[in-house]
Structure 1
Amino acid sequence: MSWYMPPETAPQDRVWMAFPRESATLGESSAAREAGYQAWTAVAHAVAEFEPVTMIADPTEISRAKNMLGSGIEVIERPIEHFWTRDSGPTFVQAGDGSLAAVDWIFNAWGAPDPAEWQNDRGLARFIAGIAGVPVVSSLLVNEGGGIHTDGDGTVFATETVQLDPDRNPLADKARIEAEFARTLGAKKVIWLPQGLTRDYDSFGTRGHVDIVATFASPGRVLIHDQPNAGHPDHAVMARIRAILETETDAKGRRLELIPVPAPEAIHDQGGFNDWSYINHLVVNGGVIACGFGEAKADARAADILGAAYPGRRVVTVDAREIFARGGGVHCITQHQPCARK
């Protein structure tokens, strides 16, 4: 059977998330942990305005999750280590008849050397697929949902430092990865970007996820991160990436229309140069959950750009600074499940 990944703008059945649990990622102090809990909860409530949310919670956090989320969000108990569901959860795909399946990539915590850090996460994709009642498409590729973007029309974005990472896929080359994306995602063309944003190579980073760099608003139209400040290292990174995309065509031979989304003015946070990006948003039924960074002018400008890129959808901005401080954004902590076509 052949599979393809629909665009993220396709109708959705629900969004899956994972509630934070105590860890170095969540924070060492009670104040830091509380800020993390609140950030994940705010995103869940924003999504729930548009469609159902199902939250996976570790047994150590089940009571807190239910209390903070309230009765409107389903909470399911299961042991987990990480709470970035875009990466540890499944990637949903469709068959030609419109039925759903779930791709189970190998997850090793972004190339982490210690299996103890992801032993429970390894089975999360199959667990979610079982609850969703869909078959599993197994893959031997170490990959994460944040490491790919598709236009739903045969084109896939990937990053050389992710799928070709020797701590992920030491024996893989581009041809093998492209063949696997063709089998699992229906990819007809993979556009390779050389790297991700600078901060993404720090200790909590993913080593280059594309979902903070560029995404398809629709076939042929690409929203791209824009760092206008030449003092930020991502200014040069994005100039290189933009130059590549300006010469590319998609799987149907279309030249890509690039829509820059300027970053906030602040270029530092407590960890150094930040990676604040409005690209890491979530498209939902009738809406867009956008990242906010406490800058009214920049947040509003980004919301206007996203609203124009996704006509007919209401943009809701959620403060994402606490999520970014832990290594990701709104897109990273969510995993959408498309509706089966009839």
Structure 2
Amino acid sequence: MTYRLLPEWHPQDGLQLTWPRPDGDWEAMLARIEAVLERIVLATVDYQRVVIGVSDDATRTRVQATFDAYGVPSEKLTLVVAPTDDTWARDHGPITVLDEKGQPLLLDYTFTGWGGKFPAERDNQLTQALADAGIWACPIASREMVLEGGAIETDGNGTLLTTEACLLNPNRNPHLSRADVEAQLAEDLGVDRILWLANGHLEGDDTDSHIDTLARFCDPETIAYVRCDDPTDSHYPALAAMEQELQAFRQRNGKPYRLIPLPWPKASHDPEDGHRLPATYANFLIINQAVLVPAYGDPADLIALNALADAFPAHALIPIECSSVIRQHGSLHCLTMQLPRGTLAAFQR
């Protein structure tokens, strides 16, 4: 059967989030991350539904009361109790393809905590737990291959954009060669062209250079990407090399891509041990009629918003403060997984 990987701008039923466990990695700054997630929900429900996985009944009751107090319509929000490890729905959430009849299928890839760096067993089971709760309106199919949603970008027309540092990392699928990975992606996702980036990395990133921290399709002809304009910054050589790679890439028709550079925010460091944090504007989220953009309290925030407004002239641009999110080495897009049209069952509270 032939499948088609959907681009992020495909019409969506909803958005998936995973709420932090009270005793998890976010414990010391739980109120801060919850405030960010609340902002994401409040911005999203104007356009589509939100499904949230929560770790226990007490958290569900508390979170539901919060959104009731905000006045979120009940039909826009579904909370499901299921065991979780962390909050990064982009990487443990399902990847949606359409089959040859145009019907959605959720691919449930294996999630190992970015190559075994962190506990992930419960998050790896979350897509099936949501199925058991009756959330999905379409079938799911398990895949043994290790693959995270943040590792791949598509134009929706058979082209995949990704990084060698992640998909070819021996901590993911050591038994698969490059050709094996390409063949598996072609079979599962219907892609027949893969654009591999050999360069690009953000300090503080645990994902081994997920593409959604570096370069993103905005439409089939446009790629927004991180540009470092400070030659004294440690990131400069690799990101300059990545820019040259992007400039050399060609669309299927032979034309170069329209490239939109995103600004370089000032360096952010962890207040406890001083290590560099992975602040990036490439970690934006496309939903129905809007784009949520990470902000860091930096003068570059406005430059990033203006750049993405040029890429998405028909969308509302909504900044989401993410200075707290990067403390755990992800950002806005990493917290979310879009759920394309036809994936969500009828509303249930």
TM-score (norm 1): 0.91
C-alpha contact 2:150 2:212 (8 A) present in aligned 1: yes
SS in 2 for 1:239: helix
C-alpha distance in 1 between matches for 2:303 and 2:252: 31
C-alpha distance in 2 between matches for 1:272 and 1:64: 34
Given candidates 36, 40, 44, the residue that maps to 1:39 is 36
Say if 1:25 and 1:234 are closer, same or farther in 2 by CA, change over 3 A: farther
C-alpha distance in 2 between matches for 1:333 and 1:246: 29
C-alpha contact 2:24 2:85 (8 A) present in aligned 1: no
Find the counterpart in structure 2 of residue 165 from structure 1.
169
1:252 deviation in Å? 4.6
Find the counterpart in structure 2 of residue 221 from structure 1.
222
C-alpha contact 2:291 2:315 (8 A) present in aligned 1: yes
1:116-195 mapped onto 2 (5 Å cutoff)? 117-129=119-131, 131-195=135-199
1:211 deviation in Å? 0.1
Task: Output the amino acid matched with 1:260.
Answer: P
Say if 1:252 and 1:83 are closer, same or farther in 2 by CA, change over 3 A: farther
TM-score (norm 2): 0.89
- Pair 1:294-2:297 in alignment: yes
Find the counterpart in structure 2 of residue 5 from structure 1.
5
SS in 1 for 2:172: coil
SS in 1 for 2:135: helix
- Pair 1:99-2:97 in alignment: no
**Stretch of structure 1 that moved more, 58-67 or 321-330:** 58-67
Task: Output the amino acid matched with 1:101.
Answer: L
C-alpha contact 1:88 1:122 (8 A) present in aligned 2: yes
Given candidates 61, 64, 73, the residue that maps to 1:63 is 61
SS in 2 for 1:111: helix
1:127 deviation in Å? 3.3
Find the counterpart in structure 1 of residue 347 from structure 2.
none
Find the counterpart in structure 2 of residue 310 from structure 1.
312
Task: Output the amino acid matched with 2:225.
Answer: I
Find the counterpart in structure 2 of residue 84 from structure 1.
88
C-alpha distance in 2 between matches for 1:169 and 1:124: 21
C-alpha contact 1:137 1:184 (8 A) present in aligned 2: no
**Stretch of structure 1 that moved more, 57-66 or 14-23:** 57-66
1:237-252 mapped onto 2 (5 Å cutoff)? 237-252=238-253
- Pair 1:335-2:337 in alignment: yes
List per-residue Cα deviations over 1:246-289 (Å, max 9, x = no partner).
11123454322211011223454534333211110111111101
Given candidates 284, 288, 295, the residue that maps to 2:287 is 284
1:64 deviation in Å? 3.0
1:23 deviation in Å? 4.6
Given candidates 247, 271, 275, the residue that maps to 1:272 is 275
C-alpha contact 1:79 1:120 (8 A) present in aligned 2: yes
C-alpha contact 1:98 1:340 (8 A) present in aligned 2: no
Task: Output the amino acid matched with 1:25.
Answer: D
1:218 deviation in Å? 0.9
Say if 1:253 and 1:141 are closer, same or farther in 2 by CA, change over 3 A: farther
Say if 1:273 and 1:337 are closer, same or farther in 2 by CA, change over 3 A: same
List per-residue Cα deviations over 1:201-240 (Å, max 9, x = no partner).
4xxx111111010001111211001121223222222111
1:37 deviation in Å? 1.6
Task: Output the amino acid matched with 1:121.
Answer: D
1:154 deviation in Å? 1.0
- Pair 1:320-2:318 in alignment: no
1:46-57 mapped onto 2 (5 Å cutoff)? 46-57=43-54
C-alpha contact 1:5 1:92 (8 A) present in aligned 2: yes
Runs of 5+ unmatched residues, structure 1: none
Find the counterpart in structure 1 of residue 18 from structure 2.
18
Say if 1:3 and 1:322 are closer, same or farther in 2 by CA, change over 3 A: same
Say if 1:199 and 1:65 are closer, same or farther in 2 by CA, change over 3 A: farther
C-alpha distance in 2 between matches for 1:334 and 1:247: 31
Runs of 5+ unmatched residues, structure 2: 344-349
C-alpha distance in 1 between matches for 2:261 and 2:24: 34
SS in 1 for 2:36: helix
C-alpha distance in 1 between matches for 2:18 and 2:270: 25
Find the counterpart in structure 1 of residue 346 from structure 2.
none
Say if 1:124 and 1:251 are closer, same or farther in 2 by CA, change over 3 A: farther
C-alpha distance in 1 between matches for 2:23 and 2:227: 32
